[in-house]
Amino acid sequence: MSQASAKPRRAPRESAFQERFAVFAECLLTGVWIAVAALGLVTYPAAFAAGARHLRRVTDHEGGGLREFAADFRTAVRRGWLVGLAGWAVTAAVVVDVLAVRAGLPGGSFAGAVGVLALIALAVAGLRAAAVWEPGAAWRELLAAAGRRTVLDPAGSFLLVGGLAVTVCSAWFAVPLAVPVLGAVTAAAVAVEKRYRHR
């Protein structure tokens, strides 16, 4: 048989299990990248945004790696640090509410409950905003739209609350366990946003 008539061989395809395991492993690695990028304390929104964009590329089979993650992080952190600073300010306000509850101040229980629920809702909205971030997107617009989706898509929002709870429990049990879980939570946010767009 001549070489001209020989059919080109196809590269062997990965099985569904191999592909899903590869995505899972990529999520864990992305969690490490996010944790390192968030060490600046106010850089966590940009870290999640860069991680989410990386995972979107992976699931869309577009490739990418640490270099692309770093480039996305540098772009996202230009305005994202303000979002991170605002997040810490809200957290501080909730801590004050909780301290008021423990001090037995009148109305403290109600204020504490409202504060904790608001903090959880803002965390979910922040994750949803980061999951759809693209270079050039305005954080204010992303957060406003994500806040609406948080209310309009309670099933997706509760899924992310569960992911955040797993992250907190992992950190409580052993801090290193929470690092890779960050990638899984980011992947959940990406999946929730995709499901919302296609429903």
The pLDDT of residue 176:
86
What value does the mean pLDDT take over residues 69-92? 95
Collapse the DSSP code of 188 into the 3-class scheme (helix H, G, I; strand E, B; otherwise coil) and give the result: helix
pLDDT for position 120: 94
In angstroms, the CA 164 to CA 110 distance is: 23
Q: Which residues contact 46 (CB under 8 A, 6 or more apart)?
A: 37, 73, 76, 77, 80, 81, 84
Averaged pLDDT, 13-41: 85
Q: Does 7 have pLDDT greater than 90? A: no
Whole-Å CA distances, 44 to 54, 62, 75, 139, 148:
15, 24, 13, 13, 22
DSSP structure class, residue 13: P
The band of 107, judged by pLDDT with boundaries at 50, 70 and 90, is: low
Give 199 or 152, the one with higher predicted confidence: 152
Q: What is the mean pLDDT of residues 135-160?
A: 96
Are the C-beta atoms of residues 122 and 84 closer than 8 Å to each other? Answer: no
Burial of 128 from C-beta contacts in 10 A (0-12 / 13-18 / 19+): buried
- pLDDT tops 60 at residue 1: no
Taking CA atoms, 24 is separated from 19, 71, 128, 175, in Å, by 9, 23, 20, 20
Structure tokens given for 69: 């993650």
pLDDT at 83: 96
Decide: 108 and 48 in contact? Cβ < 8 Å: no
129 C-beta neighbours (distance < 10 Å), count: 29
CA distances from 91 to 32, 72, 86, 98 (A): 23, 26, 9, 11
Mean pLDDT of 64-93: 94
Mean residue pLDDT across the chain: 88
* Greater pLDDT, 68 or 62: 68
Query: What's the confidence (pLDDT) of residue 108?
Result: 67
pTM (2 d.p.): 0.86
